[in-house]
Structure 1
Amino acid sequence: MTRNRAILAAASIAAAAVFLAACSEDPPATGSPEPTATGSGAEASPSPSPSSTAVVVAPERPKEMDDDGPAGAEAAAVYFLELDDYIMKTGDTAEWEAMSQKSCEYCANRLDQAKLIAERGDTFEGGEAQIQILHTYEQDEATGIWPIDVEIKESRSTITDANDEVVFEQNPQTTTARVEIARSKDQWVIVGVPDIPES
């Protein structure tokens, strides 16, 4: 049985924060679960982790994202989710923040985790995701949102501190999520990543 990626992501953040706090006398930089401001007006992204030595390549922005219809919405949803392990490994969150609506709690939680890893100089490994579109719904006329159900197959991931101690690990997992995406100022933004409602 799969579980929603948003729930697992929040659980991963909480677990990682507990592990990281236990390994340091200083409290973690993101002690509050409240979302942080995202978007183009947010503060500059932290520098990449100095303990990371492997070259990490950002996922390529698909040309389909130039479409302002359902094909563009699908491409943008997949691209955004593929950015997740990249921001964890590099601390380069500019694209993630640009695509995150300020009200998106999932977006803010993952951003907090990436910043915490970068600030501590920890290393994130693994976590690469394969995204499959399960269903794309019609655009909601009132909100302009396209709900898109996806399946995410994610490889094993670990967080290692500066002393090469593994402070968090997660086994390979397959989850499902509903990505809510819309157009804002001629670009795609993620409004939320809630559970897929039970039928």
Structure 2
Amino acid sequence: MTRSRAILAATSIAAAAVLLVAGCDDDPPATPSPEPTATGSSSEPSASPSPTSKGVVVAPERPKEMDDDGPAGAEAAAVYFLELDGYIMTTGDTSGYEAMSLKSCKFCANRLEQAREIAAEKLTWTGGDVAADVTHTYEQDAATGIWPIDVDATISAVSVTDPSGDEVFADPRTRTKYRVEIAKADGNWQVVGIADQPKP
């Protein structure tokens, strides 16, 4: 198996959701530190955006509701963060995603690593757009400031091609139910963790 195919074997949105969320499921709920450090503060530079066959890819627009410090802001931030996924995979521009990711978020770190590997291998990611809808918002935890939010995500089909144009990976449209833990720290929304919603 080539390195590109090996990378993409773990990059399937459906498989990645299982793989990456599994890394969070057994962890106790994380809490933001008094001075949280986002992964964006890492000395490792973000990958530069790369052109695609579709031309310029535009990041999702930051919703104005994110300026709210209450549940409306938390919900908008959770949806916005999930909807950045296809953009970072397509372009390699992870700056916005990093800025909202706490180091405690294993899901976030794994998605960032995959985006960087795709960029480094000069692969072209097409699709994977996320449409997210909040289904339930829980009460904010008074001690940590975390809002747990249940989100249903529909993820469009993905096709990945190598530099010669050969498809090295494909994945159909999928649906995933996430629980996003998010908190406001230093005036910005920070994703503490993302996992599968617990089964009833």
List aligned pairs for 1:145-184, cutoff 5 A. Answer: 145-184=146-185
Task: Report the Cα distance in structure 2 between the residues aligned to 1:121 and 1:53, rounded to whole angstroms.
Answer: 16
User: What is the distance in 1 between the residues matched to 2:139 and 2:18?
Assistant: 31
Computed over aligned residues only, the root mean square deviation of the Cα atoms, in angstroms, reads 2.1
Contact 2:13 2:171 in 1 (8 A): no
User: SS state of the match for residue 194, structure 1?
Assistant: strand
Gaps of 5+ in 1: 14-36
Q: For residue 64 of structure 2, what is the aligned residue in structure 1?
A: 63
Of 101-110 and 50-59, deviating more is 50-59
Identity of aligned residues (%): 58
Contact 2:151 2:178 in 1 (8 A): yes
Match of 1:9 among 13, 16, 22: 16
Please report how far the alpha carbon of residue 198 of structure 1 lies from its aligned counterpart in structure 2 after TM superposition.
Answer: 2.2
Moved more, 51-60 or 100-109: 51-60
Equivalence map 1:25-174=2 (5 Å)? 38-49=39-50, 52=53, 54-174=55-175
Which runs of 5 or more structure 2 residues have no equivalent in the other structure? 1-11, 21-37
**In the alignment, residue 8 of structure 1 is paired with which amino acid?**
A
2:183 partner amino acid: A
Is contact 2:14-2:174 (8 Å) kept? no
CA distance in 2, matches of 1:170, 1:151: 19
Write the deviation string for residues 75-94 of structure 1: whole angstroms up to 9, x where unpaired. 00000011000001111100
Q: Give the AA of the match of 1:161.
A: D
Give the AA of the match of 2:71: P
CA distance in 2, matches of 1:184, 1:6: 29
Distance 2:66 2:182 in 1: 12
Using the alignment, how far apart are the partners of 2:151 and 2:129 within structure 1?
15
Query: What is the DSSP-based 3-state SS (H/G/I as helix, E as strand, rest coil) of the residue aligned with 1:151?
Result: strand
Q: Distance in 2 between matches of 1:170 and 1:97?
A: 25
Q: 1:192 is matched with which residue?
A: 193
Question: TM-score, with normalisation over the residues of structure 1?
Answer: 0.80
Distance 1:195 1:7, change over 3 A: farther
Question: TM-score by structure 2 length?
Answer: 0.80
CA contact (8 A) 1:156 1:173 kept: yes
What is the CA distance between 1:184 and its match in structure 2? 1.1
Alpha-carbon distance in 2 for matches of 1:158, 1:51: 12
